[in-house]
Amino acid sequence: MRKLILTLSTIVFIICSCTEDIDTSARYVFTEYTVASYLEAHSDYSQYVELMKLVPVSGRSKSSVYQLMTARGNYTCFALTNEAIDAYLQELVEQGLISEPSWDAFTDSTKLDSVRKVVVQNTIIDGEDMESQRYTISLITSIGNGKENAEFPLPNIYDHKLTASKSKSDTIYLDKDCPMDPINCDIPVINGVIHQIHKVIAPKDESCARYLQNILDKKIEGYLMLAKAVQACGLLDTLSKVRDEAYEALYQAEGENLDMKDYVAKSGADMSSTAGDPDAHAPEHRKYGFTFFSETDEFWQSQGIDPAASDAVEKLQEWIVTNKMYLSDGGYVADTNYKSPKNMLHQWLVYHILPMRIPANKLVHHCNELGYSYSSPNKYTIPVMEWYPVYGGGRLLKIYESPESQGIYLNRFPVRNDGIKEDGHERYCAPDKVGIHIETNSDMAIVTDIANACIYPIDKPLAYTDVTRDDLGKERIRFDLFSLFPEAITNGIRRADSPLGKWQHVFVSLYNRYNYFDNMTIMNNETHLIHYNGYKTAWANYSGDEDKAFGQFDIRFRLPPVPKRNTYEFRYKLLATAARGIVQVYFGNDPDKLPVAGIPINMTHGVVLTFGESATWGDLNDGSKDEDEIVDIDHKLRNHGLMKATKHETEMNTSTARSKENCCRHIIVRQTLDPSETYYVRFKSVQPDLSRPELYLDYFEYCPKEIYDSPERPEDIW
């Protein structure tokens, strides 16, 4: 069956019933199969083919999935055998949904249509106009740098993102338990690629609230304690939100009218411009998401707590108090008002939750850090890390991975080789700073069944203690702009691993109509913000991406909290080009009355022009200078409110951002910041004309005084 039947140059027209939704004029008419004709030619897929003819492509289309599989395109089809479909029908019998394993056993036509849709639509991924988006075996095994439970970049036509993992025998599983056939796979056809699978892909696709409620109702072991804590703290209603229906209605009504048409002409040429797609695309959905890092019931049992007991929640809070798993000066109380943010259990629980859904392969981003290569995606080099505010804000959670860590960790604080002439790797990690391992490969990792959440087991208890707060407070904290937006992470906008135009350039500005990002405010209708994904583009940007605002821009961002009260520098990274404009920055804690922060920044000026004093880049760059000279130059730059960029990110390993004269960091303010306050930064154009319309945005930094003004050693260059 793996072998393709080839004929000579006979022109074959594929005849089928179709509607205006499918462009039949664009079909291939060569000597090979389409997805549809290949499946029809092999009896093992007869049930699957019949179902494809009955299931529409989407709710907005009259065409069937079968018709779609006859048309030009780049489709990945995970084809179901008759045996797989028969086994699924038997499962439905055992679940009590039907009386016998037959499609004729359905008594409710609506339910029948729904089940057919699940069976068929979860098997097709549309790669649109790019042949590189056909998911061959090599592409599937490279998803997420080969991580287990890695999520596909593109959703299937059911709008579900599959995950891929490998067994010890190298069998590839979709969504953890749907095996791909090792022989009947990678079958090339004119409009895509076919893989045979032996189990129906049927994610529960339920909300996190329903998932946890089912655990409570049936007393299912594993995350029973987590479910009880969530219920006690009154968070089930919040976890029931799956998507913003207001945005859904807006997109359904206006669709492509929300895009920025011909953005290239408006903003100038760009290295990441997608040939044939001049537009920047609005997101199709605005989904809600959550990520849990949770102790398991097995851990609680080891602590003498029975999650099934009627007093489990009270015992859990006692354990938190006894083990001092809280911030001593937080003002928390150990009462039974668990829904109060001041309650001890409540504060402990929300530190386990991020307000965004992060798949296993997106917990950290290996992209363009020094030494990393897409050609060796599993070979990690220098550490990568993220800092995210937890649910409810107010506190940060650090996620970290390096080759030395051998996995992804929460709140890991190693000592690194971060000197000017060192390599940036971990030197060692003290036992009490190792952090908490996120067990993404575990059978307990819930990454497919919950529509709006992922749950990852952890190897030791997580809490925001005095020690954690102090460790975070000793770090320079760097935020990629799109890490500030939970919506960008949940909806797959940030670091989408696909060259398709709708992911490469995302338009999110809808002034006075809809605020897609809660942490961003567009201040006028002249501001147009576009996210440049930068997938495999040679940019010296943090995480490879960048963001630009065009026009007479005026835009404000709500910033994450600082870990502890201290004096900090707040910094802004710039990559200067002739296309940039002049910006005035404002910074403070009153969003409506932000004070001016320094003089306007001319974003066409890199290090040399900003520094002045008749210097050249040869005078200022590191080059072959010794450490003392480099430190002295950095000190002079800081006196001008300026820093070179870092050695961390590269242009695909050809040069680092620090070695580029047009990359620099501006010190916006140096002042006392408090974790109880919320801070904002605003960027407003002061360009008298729009000959240089761009605002460039990449990342921000908080740097505590102990680092930038250390008497013992200069701040590292990483």
pLDDT tens profile 627-683: 999 999 999 999 999 999 999 999 988 899 999 999 999 999 999 999 999 999 999
DSSP 268: -
- Number of CB atoms found within 10 A of residue 430's CB: 9
Tell me the CATH number at 167. 2.30.180.10
Q: Last residue of some domain: 419, 448, 475?
A: 475
93 belongs to a structural domain: yes
pLDDT tens profile 32-60: 899 999 999 999 999 999 999 999 998 77
| Statement to judge: residues 323 and 360 lie in one domain | yes
Amino acid 690: pLDDT: 72
311 belongs to a structural domain: yes
| Statement to judge: residues 626 and 553 lie in one domain | yes
Amino acid 272: pLDDT: 64
Q: How far apart are the first and last CA of the chain?
A: 54
What total of structural domains would you count in the chain?
3
- Is 417 within 8 Å of 423 (Cβ atoms)? yes
DSSP 460: S
- Is 642 within 8 Å of 611 (Cβ atoms)? yes
For residue 547, the enclosing domain spans 476-708
585 belongs to a structural domain: yes
| Statement to judge: residues 181 and 218 lie in one domain | no
Pairing of strands 163-166, 172-174: antiparallel
Q: Last residue of some domain: 170, 197, 224?
A: 197
- Number of CB atoms found within 10 A of residue 129's CB: 15
Point out the residues of the chain with pLDDT beneath 70: 1-31, 267-276
409 belongs to a structural domain: yes
- Nearest Cα residue to 400 out of 352, 368, 438: 438
Amino acid 239: pLDDT: 98
Amino acid 274: pLDDT: 55
| Statement to judge: residues 294 and 317 lie in one domain | yes
- Is 364 within 8 Å of 478 (Cβ atoms)? no
Q: Last residue of some domain: 441, 475, 509?
A: 475
624 belongs to a structural domain: yes
| Statement to judge: residues 436 and 530 lie in one domain | no
282 belongs to a structural domain: no
Amino acid 2: pLDDT: 31
Amino acid 168: pLDDT: 84
Q: How many residues does the chain have?
A: 718
| Statement to judge: residues 470 and 482 lie in one domain | no
| Statement to judge: residues 502 and 367 lie in one domain | no
484 belongs to a structural domain: yes
The span from the CA of 560 to the CA of 558, in Å, is 7
C-alpha dist (Å) from residue 697 to 79, 576, 643: 44, 11, 16
Amino acid 60: pLDDT: 79
| Statement to judge: residues 230 and 96 lie in one domain | no
Amino acid 176: pLDDT: 93
The 3-state secondary structure of 345-379, one letter per residue: HHHHHHCCEECCCCCHHHCCCCCCECCCCCCCCCC
- Number of CB atoms found within 10 A of residue 219's CB: 10
| Statement to judge: residues 216 and 160 lie in one domain | no
The span from the CA of 239 to the CA of 347, in Å, is 17
| Statement to judge: residues 506 and 594 lie in one domain | yes
Whole-model pTM? 0.93
| Statement to judge: residues 576 and 451 lie in one domain | no
DSSP 453: E
The span from the CA of 227 to the CA of 98, in Å, is 30
CB < 8 Å & 24+ apart, contacts of 657-660: 657/540, 657/541, 657/575, 658/622, 658/717, 659/621, 659/622, 660/540, 660/575, 660/606
| Statement to judge: residues 184 and 210 lie in one domain | no
655 belongs to a structural domain: yes
